[in-house]
Amino acid sequence: MSASSPFTQKIYAVAARIPKGKVATYGQVARLAGNTNAARAVGNAMKRNPDRRVVPCHRVVASDGSLTGYSFGKGIATKKNALLKEGVIFIGIRVDLARSQWRAA
């Protein structure tokens, strides 16, 4: 799937809506983009994200709240620091999804 494919553009549009201090899961982004079975495609799109200022890929996490696959800075440590700065709540090494998951309208 190319970065310019319609589905990838939908993924980026959904991820761009995740507010500061909240996270969404890969599956949640896939569902909101129109394909409940495309969590891996979301991960691939986040990896190829052309602009982190527009598409905050650090706000996309695994379904259990764990931090996976971040290719910027120092990887997962950079992702966790960015989320902590935004006020995302963790329980140990995982995001507390009950308190920090985005509830898309």
SS3 42: helix
Assigned fold of 6-100: Arc Repressor Mutant, subunit A (1.10.10)
Annotated catalytic residue 79: no
Taking a C-beta distance cutoff of 8 angstroms, is the pair 24, 60 a contact? yes
Across the 105 residues of the chain, what is the mean pLDDT of every consecutive 10-residue run? 78 97 98 96 92 92 93 88 97 97 88
State the burial class of residue 88 (Cβ atoms within 10 Å of its Cβ: 0-12, 13-18, 19+). buried
pTM reported for the whole predicted model: 0.93
**HSE-CB for 19 with a 13 A CA cutoff:** 8
Q: Where are the domains of the chain?
A: 6-100
- Among residues 57, 62, 82, 95, which one is catalytic? 57
For position 1, what pLDDT does the model report? 43
- Across the chain, mean pLDDT equals 92
